[in-house]
Amino acid sequence: MPAKLLARLRQAVRLRHYSPRTEDVYVRWVIRFVKFHGMRHPSELGREDISRFLSSLAVQRNVGASTQNQALAALLFLYRHVLGSAVGWLNDMVHAKRSNRLPVVLSRAEVRSVLGWMPEGVPRLVATLLYGTGMRLLEGLELRVKDVDFAGHEILVRAGKGDRDRVTMLPDAMHGQLQRHLSAVQHQHEEDLGDGAGWVALPYALASKYPNAGREWGWQWVFPATRAYVDAVTGERRRHHLHETVVQRTFREAVRASAIAKRASCHTLRHSFATHLLETGYDIRTVQELLGHRDVRTTMIYTHVLKRGGLGVRSPMDSL
């Protein structure tokens, strides 16, 4: 695999301020594409080679339409912004048709059951916060202390999906347990400072503009990792935020223990949050803003989940 090509790809992604996760995904797809074609350089390949790769994903790997489109997006980015190919044949590449799937939603009783099966600790607190705020898992794990406003009863979600900021509520029922958690985190941070550590990664070039901000309490993660690491570039001893697999594993075990037959994940808590708000009577525009959807049509899917039975129609059997 040409190291220079991957370095140029990463540089192009960062230049456009895509998320680190998108960067890693694009790099992985380009590596798979090159390996599929016998380690040939992408500049030697073209439209037919991309189509053959995508077809193998659908036919041999049996991947879904969203995964196939993700691979196509990575390759189109490579050819457009890294290799500088003419966009004519690129524009003709056909995206896979995505199926319309209704989201999995837990009832209030099921949410209570799953959270009850999660042992006391940080993963349970994170899951509770996801249901109470409608945040995505990574949005919750990437919260900074300064973005939690207890007085205003709100949380500022920074650089969410699409690199957009938004405000969501902070449930009153969570004030006490979240404040106790932050008190423990602050004590841990003070110990880190005493050991010459206590640094945290900062977005963009803030570390250059504010050299000491990386050790300030307000910039620390709300849910820091249990172990510190040494940054290879700066030599700083930092803490990353808690890894998402820690919460996902605990949540999955709780779903299994609660004997709920639904295929629920941490993201199901976000779906349940939206559906339960609509059931309570909140208007769809409010729910759209809380979820951070760009288009209200994305939020409209939860109105279909609200319906009971066949499109909400009462069966004649029920009147016998």
CB contact set of 158 (below 8 Å; sequence gap of 6+): 142, 144, 147, 165
What DSSP string describes the chain?
A: --HHHHHHHHHHHHHTT--HHHHHHHHHHHHHHHHHTTT--GGG--HHHHHHHHHHHHHTS---HHHHHHHHHHHHHIIIIIS---SHHHHTPPPPPPP--PPP---HHHHHHHHHHSPSSHHHHHHHHHHHH---HHHHHT-BGGGEETTTTEEEE-S-TTS--EEEE--GGGHHHHHHHHHHHHHHHHHHHHTT--B---STTHHHHSTTGGGSGGGSBSSEEEEEEE-TTT--EEEEEPPHHHHHHHHHHHHHHTT--S---HHHHHHHHHHHHHHHT--HHHHHHHHT-SSHHHHTHHHHHH--TTTTPPPGGGG-
- Which of 124, 136, 238, 241 is catalytic? The answer is 136
For the record, the structure tokens of 232 come out as 């290879």
The CA–CA distances, whole Å, from 295 to 29, 278, 287, 288 equal 28, 17, 12, 8
| Nearest C-alpha neighbor of 103 from the set 278, 245, 283, 306 | 306
Catalytic annotation, pick one of 26, 79, 131, 302:
302
Domains of the chain (ranges, CATH numbers) = 3-91 (1.10.150.130), 108-302 (1.10.443.10)
Active site residue 267: yes
Single out the catalytic residue among 124, 166, 189, 270.
Answer: 270
The confidence score (pLDDT) of residue 312 equals 52
What's the Rg (C-alpha) of the chain? 23
Our answer to whether residue 229 is catalytic in this structure is no
pLDDT tens for the chain, 320 residues: list them: 567 899 999 999 988 888 888 999 999 999 999 999 999 999 888 888 998 998 898 888 888 888 888 999 999 999 989 998 765 665 666 666 666 678 899 999 999 999 999 999 999 999 999 999 999 999 999 999 999 999 999 999 998 887 889 999 999 999 999 999 999 999 999 999 999 999 999 987 788 888 899 999 999 999 999 999 999 888 999 999 999 999 999 999 999 999 999 999 999 999 999 999 998 888 899 999 999 998 888 888 888 776 655 455 555 645 65
Cα angle 189, 190, 193 (rounded to 5 degrees) comes to 90
| CB distance 95 to 123 below 8 Å | no
159-194 burial code (b ≥16 CB/10 A, e <16)? ebeeeeebebebeeebeeebeebbeebeeebeebee
- Select which of 32, 215, 252, 267 is catalytic: 267
d(CA 168, CA 157): 7
Residue 276 is a catalytic residue: no
The dihedral formed by the CA atoms of 279, 283, 289 and 294, expressed in degrees to the nearest 10: 100
Residue 98 is among the residues annotated as catalytic for this protein = no
Which pLDDT score, from 0 to 100, does residue 317 have?
Answer: 47
pTM: 0.81
Give pLDDT, residue 93.
61
The answer to whether the CB of 267 falls within 8 A of the CB of 136 is: yes
To the query of whether residue 17 is one of the catalytic residues in this protein, the response is: no
- Measured CA to CA, the distance from residue 32 to residue 27 in angstroms comes to 9
The one catalytic residue among 146, 161, 237, 252: 161
52 is catalytic: no
The most distant pair of C-alpha atoms in the chain lies apart, rounded to whole Å, by: 75
